[in-house]
Structure 1
Amino acid sequence: MKIFNSIDDFTPGNGTVMTLGTFDGVHLGHRKIIERLLQSAHGGLETLILTFFPHPRMVLQDDNDIRLLNTIGEKCGLLAETTLDNLVIHPFDKNFSRLTAEAFVKDILVGKFNIRKIIIGYDHRFGRNRTADINDLIQFGEAYGFEVEQISPIEIDEIAISSTKIRNALLSGDIALANQYLGYEYFFSGTVVRGRQLGRTIGYPTANFHISETYKLIPAIGIYVVRSIVNGRMVYGMMSIGTNPTVGGTTQTIEVHYFDFQDDLYGADITVSICCKIRDEAHFESLELLRQKLDEDREFSLRYIASRSSGS
């Protein structure tokens, strides 16, 4: 898959079959659209997805509180797993939002992408102030010589419901449901930084993670089973997202205790996939009681890992 960081960087060949959208999560609903896109490409036509960054809501609504399932890097990685030919990530700004519908079609879809077919939702709106709809797009297709295939209301609802359910599931700590809709384990990537180093005093040293992308959605506070590829091998562990109330913490942290692993990870960039939730965060009256609970968490995690390995 070729990645282009601007519409202007893309040079069309014989023509494209394309779709556009945020594709946040690249979940099972999105993958149905991608499959249809791939099936429509024949006769030397290339497949293309047009997406935008920053998210339009960040620009048009000054919505700095929006949380996304994927960073732009994660989205690229997930889409690269498909056989998609081209991904165009165009910088979204207010100037771009002011393009008229016809200018968008004529100058970009036709002029830049040499479009032959577009697969789009029946409820898609575009152009300045989002005044144009699917009927306008069909008329433009007839005028400029490209086909418009509509995604049905049922399919659109499935995609929208999946995205909403994934976010809500993660925010409530229901990792199992989120992973079911995603079709993969929810993950984040971060840099290991120095923490308070309290975990090692009770036998549970942790890697403290810093995620630079503030728009990345972090699941609910709680304790989770996780896995990572570290130094070329798969390692499992248990992760705490929370404030460490037992030791008087007030700032939310993300800490992972990896099992049977002693390598120095400071400064390393690591991806953490979340397998399942163990329990909610709790306050304990002493570090000894916390340690005993962590022993139980470890036993739960090891049983879970063993069940995955056996396929049961």
Structure 2
Amino acid sequence: MRIYHHIDEFTRLNNAVVTIGTFDGVHIGHRKIISGIKDLAASSGGETVLLTFFPHPRMILHPEDESIRMINTITEKAELLEQLGIDHLIITPFSRDFSNQTAEEYIREVLVNKIGTKKIVIGYDHRFGKDRLGGLQDMQRLGPVYGFEVVEIPEQDINDVAISSTRIRAALLNGEIELANTFLGYPFFINGTVIRGDQIGRQIGFPTANIVIQERYKLIPADGIFAVTVKTEDGAYKGMAYIGTRPTINGTTRNIEVNIFDFDQEIYNQPIRVDFQNFVRGDMKLSSLDELKVQIAQDKINVKALLGN
């Protein structure tokens, strides 16, 4: 898959089969759409193009709103799309200038002149152009004028995509990891960098890798203990993750920490990926570090049972 970080980097194709959207989560609903455009491209000798926007339009149009949370970072989304076999991924920076194009300008300049669209796969509710006034009807009206075919995604499929995205975010925020993973079609994951903590985990016999995530918009699941699998630079491991403010020591900042099983290497400043498999329990305040140690020992037993170890 070729990745373009601006529409101007893209070289116009002769036969582009295009779809457009946020595709946050690249979940099972999205995968149905992607499978469809791949089939269309294969049957017509075309190449698949997925056009997405980053930053998310809400980040630009409403910069004061810091509430937006995404299931994937843009890097994670690209990785997932590549696994699905998309030929071209265009990540266009959303801007006010871009949003001020009329519907016909967008179709003519972006879809036709820049991309070379011959088939476009979109939903009945897709909106574009200045004030989001453009829609499916404009595509259908202008398709014959500019030489492309419009393939409408059925309403039920679009509803499934919307429901899935909403359900996944809600499930993650409620700690319902197994449900979120069912909708995603893969384990929810985070990517971050290991930083030095205050060594409290080490003091009680459960050293942890403290993780910082650079992308503030990345959704983080509910506070608690999770069964996870972990990937570091040198291999894959099982472990248990903690998300929370560490109330037992009167902590105030939200932390992400992972106790990696059968692991004793120093990995400060190294990248780490954590795949969330199961929710074990919610966060709790205990009366002492000794009580915390006993609880974590039981958590480890429970996690190992869940992970089959």
**What residue number does 2:228 align with?**
226
2:104 to 96, 102, 105: 102
Query: Partner amino acid for 1:65?
Result: S
Query: Partner amino acid for 1:154?
Result: Q
**What residue number does 2:30 align with?**
30
Q: Assess if the C-alpha contact under 8 Å between 1:241 and 1:252 holds in 2.
A: yes
Residue deviations 1:92-140 (CA, integer Å, cap 9, x gap): 1101000111111111111011110000000111111011211111001
- Percent identity for Structure 1 against Structure 2: 48
Alignment of 1:284-303 (within 5 A): 284-303=286-305
Query: Partner amino acid for 1:14?
Result: N
Residues in 2 aligned to 1:89 and 1:125: alpha-carbon distance in whole angstroms:
18
**What residue number does 1:217 align with?**
219
Residue deviations 1:132-179 (CA, integer Å, cap 9, x gap): 211111001021111001111111110000000000000011001100
Residues in 2 aligned to 1:175 and 1:159: alpha-carbon distance in whole angstroms:
18
Residue deviations 1:38-96 (CA, integer Å, cap 9, x gap): 00013431110000000001111223220000101000100010111100000111010
Comparing 37-46 with 266-275, greater Cα deviation is found at: 37-46
Q: Does 1:8 align with 2:14?
A: no
Residues in 2 aligned to 1:37 and 1:43: alpha-carbon distance in whole angstroms:
11
1:275 to 245, 256, 277: 277
Residues in 2 aligned to 1:43 and 1:200: alpha-carbon distance in whole angstroms:
59
Residues in 2 aligned to 1:146 and 1:231: alpha-carbon distance in whole angstroms:
46
Residues in 2 aligned to 1:202 and 1:8: alpha-carbon distance in whole angstroms:
55
Q: Kindly state the Cα deviation for residue 250 of structure 1 after the two structures are TM-superposed.
A: 1.0
Structure 2's unaligned 5+ residue stretches are none
Q: Assess if the C-alpha contact under 8 Å between 1:209 and 1:255 holds in 2.
A: yes
**What residue number does 1:243 align with?**
245
**What residue number does 1:52 align with?**
53
Residues in 1 aligned to 2:99 and 2:133: alpha-carbon distance in whole angstroms:
11
Q: Assess if the C-alpha contact under 8 Å between 2:12 and 2:113 holds in 1.
A: no
**What residue number does 1:265 align with?**
267
Alignment of 1:63-102 (within 5 A): 63-102=65-104
What is the TM-score of this pair, normalised by structure 2?
0.97
Where 2:291 maps in the other structure, the secondary structure is helix
**What residue number does 1:310 align with?**
none
Where 2:182 maps in the other structure, the secondary structure is helix
Q: Assess if the C-alpha contact under 8 Å between 1:14 and 1:44 holds in 2.
A: no
Residues in 2 aligned to 1:304 and 1:161: alpha-carbon distance in whole angstroms:
28
**What residue number does 1:61 align with?**
62
Where 1:111 maps in the other structure, the secondary structure is helix
Residues in 2 aligned to 1:305 and 1:143: alpha-carbon distance in whole angstroms:
57
Residues in 2 aligned to 1:244 and 1:170: alpha-carbon distance in whole angstroms:
20
Residues in 1 aligned to 2:84 and 2:156: alpha-carbon distance in whole angstroms:
24
* C-alpha RMSD over aligned residues: 1.0
Residues in 1 aligned to 2:140 and 2:156: alpha-carbon distance in whole angstroms:
20
Comparing 206-215 with 4-13, greater Cα deviation is found at: 4-13
Where 1:12 maps in the other structure, the secondary structure is coil
**What residue number does 1:165 align with?**
167
Moved over 3 A (4+): none
Residue deviations 1:262-288 (CA, integer Å, cap 9, x gap): 000111111111010110011111111
